[in-house]
Structure formats: C-alpha cells, structure tokens
Chains A and B, each alone.
Chain A
Amino acid sequence: MSDASLPYQIEDLAPARAARRVSGESRIVQFVLVVVSLAFLCLFLFLPLISVFVEAGARGWHAYREAILEPDALAAIRLTLFIAAIAVPFNVIFGLAAAWAIAKFEFRGKSLLISFIDLPFSVSPVISGLVFVLLFGAQGYFGPWLAANDLKIIFAVPGILLATIFVTFPFVARELIPHMQSLGSADEETALTLGASGWRTFFTVTLPNVKWSLFYGVLLCNARAMGEFGAVAVVSGKIRGVTTTMPLHVEILYNEYMGAAAFAVASLLAGLALVTLVLKTVLEWRFADAIAASRRH
C-alpha cells in the first residue's frame, strides 16, 4: 500500500450484518409467529395475485392476446403510459424542488408545507377527483370559462392527468425530504466554495447524492400513477377507448361479465406491481448501503 509508512489503516468497512436475536422468545413462539405471518401473506397477497394470473390464462394464450390487443385495451394501455410519462417527470421536478426547499432552507410555514405534501395520502382518492370536478366541471368554478374557450378538462385526458398528479405527488418528495435532510448542506457549500455554479452543484453533487432515493420515489410514483383508480374514475367519464386507463378498462370489462379479458388486462397491472416489488427490494439493499455510507462520513 502506498501509505504503508502511516500508522493508520482503513477502518473496518464491513456493514454490520450480524444476525441478532431480538428477544428471548422460545423457538415455538418464533415458529408460530412466522407461520402466522406467512399464512396471512398467502391468504391476502399471494393467493389473489396468483388467481389473477390463473384467471387471465384460463381461456388460453390466444384469448389472452386477443384481450390485450383489442383496440380499446390498447388505447387504455397507451393512455396509462402517457399519463405516467407526464405525471412522473412532473413529480420528480416538484419532489426535488420541495425537498430542496425543505432540507436546505429555513423558512416560515415549512412544517405546513410538509403536512400539505402528505395531504393526498390522507384524503380519499374519490374526494381528490371530486375536487377537480368541482373546479373544472361544467357546473364548477371555472366550468363556464372553460366551456366558453372550448377547453375540456373533466371527462377528458387533462382531468385524468391532474387527478393522477394530485394523488401521486407525495411519493417522490416523501422519499427525498428525509434523505436530503440527513445529508445537510455541507457538500453543496463545499462545491460552491470550490467555484462551482449552482447548476453544476446540483447536477454533480446533490443529484448523485440522492439518486437512489429519487429512483425509489419514481418507482412508487410510477406504480401509483399507472394503478390509480378512484380519483381517475371520478374525472374520466369512462369514454371507452378515449378516457379509460387500464384500471378503468379492467372495471368496465368486469362489469360487462368479460371476466377473462378483465383478468388479462389486470395481469399486466399485477405484473407491473411485481416488477416494482422486485426493483424496490433490490433498491432497498443498495439504498441501505448508500444510507449507511452517507452516515459514515
């Protein structure tokens, strides 16, 4: 080693992964607890999930393809992707701005802003949808003005977009705020004293520091944006092939007793959930180390 002359060595960097015994419960209690939780998971999670895939494939591969490639289904998939493609970047920008403001500055009304960010979590999605109807619907505050200008928000794609952004906006901000707060501003201040511009500081220092929590937030935000039902159902008007997202499409099919087709589209959403889950788990491993590393400094 190049610094062999120096008496200090690299610290023990191995993360503490030693297994811990939480308490002195006997093995039987442990066993019972594990079995109970697994049984619960099977009953309420795995079983329904598996049944979705089983039902989806019940009529065979051909019927499955048919159900997904049917024009209304394709339109629903396209709309869902479109909504997510706009709502997610929007939330990334909002989340970064809000987290930055909260973590790096002191200002009046900060705790109020934090509570407001949580609002969509505590409000029923149906209410969130109704708020937009109240604002932009035909009888709403801006309704007459919108009608006069030939703009359509409710029962159209913009309404779906607004409702989706509203219900998803806590996801990115909520992941970033605690992480940025724990990091403090020393890295940014260092970069600035070293002569970096604000932009360079943001893109080379801040963003890489929080990239894992940002990605994690994006993942959750995306899953919710694609899966949102309540708020979207209120503002969509369910015009087939025009304002139906995948969850709405599933519901329509199901109500029309087209169970197999409904489950085929539902299986796509379930697949998305599984992919999200896997990525989330992988990230949690990475993320745990990244957080531990940031604490070590």
Chain B
Amino acid sequence: MSVAVTIESVEKRFQNFPALRGVSLDIQPGELVALLGPSGSGKTTLLRVIAGLEQAERGRVLFGETDTRDLSLRERRIGFVFQHYALFKTMSVAENIAFGLKSRPRAERPNPAEIKKRVSDLLELIQLPGLEKRYPSQLSGGQRQRIALARALAIEPRVLLLDEPFGALDAKVRKDLRAWLRQLHQRTGHTTVFVTHDQEEALELADRVAILHDGRLEQVGSPDDVYDHPATPFICQFLGDANHLPVKVVGSQAFFQDRPVLGGLRQNLGGPASLYVRPQHLRIVDDAPLALPGVVEHLRRNGPLRRAEVAVEGLSKRLDVDLASQVAPAIGERIRLRITHGNLFAAA
C-alpha cells in the first residue's frame, strides 16, 4: 500500500455544468498536497468528492486499495475542515473536539476520562491549551480554525481535507498559521490535501502542488517544478507574475516584431508562439544583441523589490521588470531589456 489516495478520472457535473472533467491524482501517505486554482475551478468539488460528500458521475476514489464507494461516511474516516470552520456554535470547544469520539458506536467509544484526556492533548497539540470551556463565538478566527482542525484530528483521520483553511483570516494571521500548519504536519504526518486559491500559500506549504483550471488538473508537481517549469500558459500567468509577448519562432530564435529577443531555443516550435517572461527574468542592459528597447513609464514598490513598468512599442501592456540589485532608471528613460529566461508555448 504505497498510495494513500488514488483519484481516477473523476468527473462531476452540476446540472449541465462540468465542475470536474477527468481529474486523476495519486496522493502518497504523509504527503501535504495543495489543490491550487482560481475561484470556481473545482477545488472544493474535488475535495468533497474525496470526502464522499459529493458523488462523482464517472471515475472513482480509492483509499489504499479500497474503493470509497464501498465505505460509509463514518468508515471513510475523513477529517474535513470547512472553509468557514463549521464549528458547532451551541457546543463548547471541548464538546466540539469530542464530537467525533462520542459519535462512535458504543463498543468503540472511549470512556469519558479518555475523551477528556484526548481533548486536552489535542488542545495542547494545536497550542491552545485550557480553552475547553470556551464557545466558538468567544474565539478569534485563527483560534476557530485550529479548533476545527483539532476536531478533525480527533477521529484519527486517514486523510485530512482542508478547504481554504486560511481563507477567512487576515494576512498576518494567515502567515502565522501557515508556519504552524507546516510544523503540525511534520509532527503528526497526516496525509493532507488542502485547497487554496493563494499561490504563495500553496508554494510555501505543500510537498506537491496540483493546479486546477476549469475542472481540469493542468499540472502536478513540486513547488519548484510548477513554478520553474509551468506546463501551460495558464499556469505561467497564475503562478507569480508573467509578461506575455507574442513572438515568432524561427530556428532557435524567438522574434518579437522581427527583432530577435531570445536565442538558443531547443524546443522545436516554429511559427507563432507565446513567450512568458517573469519580471525577475528581465534585465536592463547597456547594449546586447538580443535586447528589447523600451521606455520606463512608472516605478513602484512590490514587497522587497522595486519594479519598473516599461512600455515597449507594439505591446499594449507594459512589461513589469524587477529591479533587484540594479540602479533604478529614471521615469522616461529609454532602456534596453534582455530576457534571461522565458517559457515558450505554441500559439493556440
């Protein structure tokens, strides 16, 4: 049993709308997988199909060797954390966490002392000891999130499924919880799938990132993989920023408006193509054979970096250029840009 969860060509429609179109994915035991995609791409639907809250029309989901259609919701032992936590408002924190244990058939139910111990252990684990008696309305968003996670962990789930776990929290809390979740995962080793629309979150947290777009998995790979070698134009633009240049490939060179801009191509494309270049892969050069002339129109700050917006003749959108260690040009200055790295796709 080397695969924890196998998703085999799952298809799901709502009325006539295809929410998932043939999604296949293997998840290894102990892996932390991010399902990343824009809003409406089918992330929640896929998570709900894995959990058994939604039935796929085609395809199947296996836990190990077992087809999940043969398992009841209880037998699936899924730790599902909803986007808005869905804590039981009328129950205290302790009752919330104990809910799964108390729901077991009488023969398998731990006795009250064991349940109490387990609840306080879990609160310890999520670094909120002593909160047993609080009610959900008396907790902050970040605390609620962690209680929901503890409640899911209490049933010793086979798989932990988190739907936008930090979606409703503010930026600072998100960052703290991200690091916290990473540590928790290292400590407990649960096979985990979490949904996010935040690419930074996915890249930072996950062992592997699965990118969904319009109900299809466009790419699955390590964060480095998907970031450095995006498989589709969509991923280029969705992961990080990318400038788009319509080019023509002749031989080993790409031409933008009859001007060679990128050489040494090994891909055998030929003809019109789309070139995607990240802002950090544009360098201001004095003069070079493969360079793109432009005018600096705007300068702005982007996190630790400064970024120039450069107008290039023949392009309706300005190019974003990161000014990492370079001397900043002045607005209105004519510069030349060299592309140090780009991703090329045959034009659709």
Residues of chain A having any CB pair with chain B under 8 Å: 2-3, 5-11, 13, 186-187, 189-197, 200, 204-205, 208-209, 211, 293-294, 296-297
Which residue from A3, A10, A190 sits with its C-beta under 8 Å from B127? Answer: A3
Min CB distance A105 to B, Å, is 14
Near A by CB (< 8 A), chain B positions 78-94 give: 78-80, 82, 84-91
Is B155 positioned at the interface, with any CB of A under 8 Å from its CB? yes
In the complex, the answer to whether A189 meets B53 with C-beta atoms within 8 Å is yes
A8 touches B142 (CB 8 A): yes
Considering the complex, give the chain B residue whose CB is closest to the CB of A205. B88
Among B132-140, B248-256, B264-272, which stretch is in contact with chain A?
Answer: B132-140
Q: Does B25 contact A (CB under 8 A)?
A: no
Q: Is the CB of A200 within 8 A of B103?
A: yes
Task: Write 22 A-B pairs (CB below 8 A) sorted by A numbering.
Answer: A2-B131, A3-B131, A6-B176, A7-B176, A10-B140, A11-B141, A186-B84, A187-B86, A189-B86, A191-B99, A192-B53, A192-B73, A193-B53, A193-B78, A194-B100, A194-B152, A195-B77, A204-B99, A208-B90, A293-B137, A296-B137, A297-B87
A191 to B100, CA, bound (A): 8
Q: Which of B131-159 contact A (CB under 8 A)?
A: 131, 136-144, 151-152, 154-155
Are B172 and A7 in contact (CB-based, < 8 A)?
yes
Min C-beta distance of A110 to chain B, whole Å: 15
B138 touches A194 (CB 8 A): no
In the assembled complex, B285 has its CB within 8 A of some CB on chain A: no
Q: Collect the chain A residues with CB atoms within 8 Å of residue B80's CB.
A: 189-190, 193
CA distance A196 to B100 in the complex (A): 7
Contacts of B104 in A (CB 8 A): 195
Complex Cα–Cα for A296 and B139 (A) = 11
Query: A10: shortest Cβ distance to chain B, in Å?
Result: 5
| B129 lies within 8 A of chain A by Cβ | yes
Give the docked Cα–Cα distance between A282 and B137 (Å). 21
B89 & A6 in contact (Cβ 8 Å cutoff): no
CB-CB under 8 A for A191 and B82, given A2-B129, A209-B90, A297-B89: no
| Inter-chain contacts of A13 with B (CB < 8 A) | 137-138
Minimal beta-carbon separation of B229 from chain A (angstroms): 36
CA distance A210 to B16 in the complex (A): 34
- From A5, A191, A192, name the one whose CB has the most chain B CB atoms within 10 angstroms: A192
Nearest A residue (CB) for B131: A2
Do A3 and B176 touch across chains, with their CB atoms under 8 A apart?
no
Least CB distance, B254 to chain A, in whole angstroms: 48
Known: A2-B128, A208-B91. 20 other contacts (CB 8 A): A6-B176, A8-B141, A8-B142, A8-B172, A10-B143, A11-B141, A186-B86, A190-B88, A192-B53, A193-B73, A193-B76, A194-B103, A195-B103, A196-B99, A205-B88, A208-B90, A209-B89, A294-B89, A297-B86, A297-B144
Asked if B18 CB lies within 8 Å of chain A CBs, one says no
Contact A8 B99 (CB under 8 A): no
> Is the Cβ of B74 less than 8 Å from the Cβ of A195?
yes
Q: Give A190 to B127 CA distance when docked, in angstroms.
A: 23
Closest 6 CB pairs of A and B: A194-B100, A186-B86, A208-B90, A196-B103, A195-B74, A2-B130
CB contacts (< 8 Å) of A9 on chain B: these are 140
Give bound CA distance, A186 to B81, whole Å: 10
* B88, A187: Cβ atoms closer than 8 Å: yes
Q: Is B51 an interface residue (CB 8 A)?
A: yes
A2 (CB) vs chain B CBs: closest residue: B130
Identify the closest chain B residue to A9 (Cβ).
B140
A10 to B128, CA, bound (A): 13
A192 to B79: give the CA distance in the assembly, Å.
11
Interchain nearest-CB distance for A162 vs B (Å): 36
- Chain A residues with CB under 8 Å of B136's CB are 297
CA distance A197 to B100 in the complex (A): 11
Let me know if A10 and B142 touch, CB within 8 A. Answer: no
Q: Which of A11, A186, A197, A294 has the most CB of B within 10 A?
A: A186
* A187 contact set on B, CB distance < 8 A: 86, 88
B173 interface hit (Cβ, 8 Å)? yes
Is A3 touching B99 in the complex (CB atoms < 8 A)? no
A195 close to B73 (CB less than 8 A): yes
Whether B73 contacts A8 by the Cβ 8 Å rule is no
Partner of A10, one of B76, B138, B154: B138
Q: B143 and A3: CB pair below 8 A?
A: yes
Residue of A nearest to B87 (CB): A297
Bound: A200/B152 CA distance, A: 17
Give Cα A7 to B127, complex, Å: 13
Residues of A within 8 A of B76 (CB): 193
Interface-central residue, A189, A293, A297, by most chain B CB under 10 Å = A297
CA distance A190 to B85 in the complex (A): 9
Report B109 CB to chain A, min CB distance, Å: 10
Q: Which residues of A contact B154 (CB under 8 A)?
A: 194
CA A67 – CA B155 in complex, angstroms? 64
**Does A195 contact B100, Cβ atoms closer than 8 Å?**
yes
Q: For the complex, give the distance between the alpha carbons of A192 and B131 in Å.
A: 25
With beta carbons under 8 angstroms apart, the residue of A8, A191, A293 that contacts B173 is A8
CA distance A108 to B52 in the complex (A): 24
Within the complex, which residue of B84, B85, B99, B130 is in contact with A194, where a contact is CB–CB below 8 Å?
A: B99
Indicate if the CB atoms of B127 and A6 lie closer than 8 Å. Answer: yes
- Find chain A residues with CB under 8 A from B131 CB: 2-3
Q: Which of A8, A197, A200 contacts B140 (CB 8 A)?
A: A8
Q: Which residues of A contact B127 (CB under 8 A)?
A: 3, 5-6
Q: Which of B50-65 contact A (CB under 8 A)?
A: 51-53
Bound: A297/B87 CA distance, A: 8
Q: Are B84 and A297 in contact (CB under 8 A)?
A: yes
Contact A297 B85 (CB under 8 A): yes
Residues of A within 8 A of B84 (CB): 186, 297
Cβ contacts under 8 Å, A197 to chain B: 103
Which residues of chain A are within 8 angstroms of B90 by Cβ–Cβ distance?
208-209, 211
Contacts of B140 in A (CB 8 A): 8-11
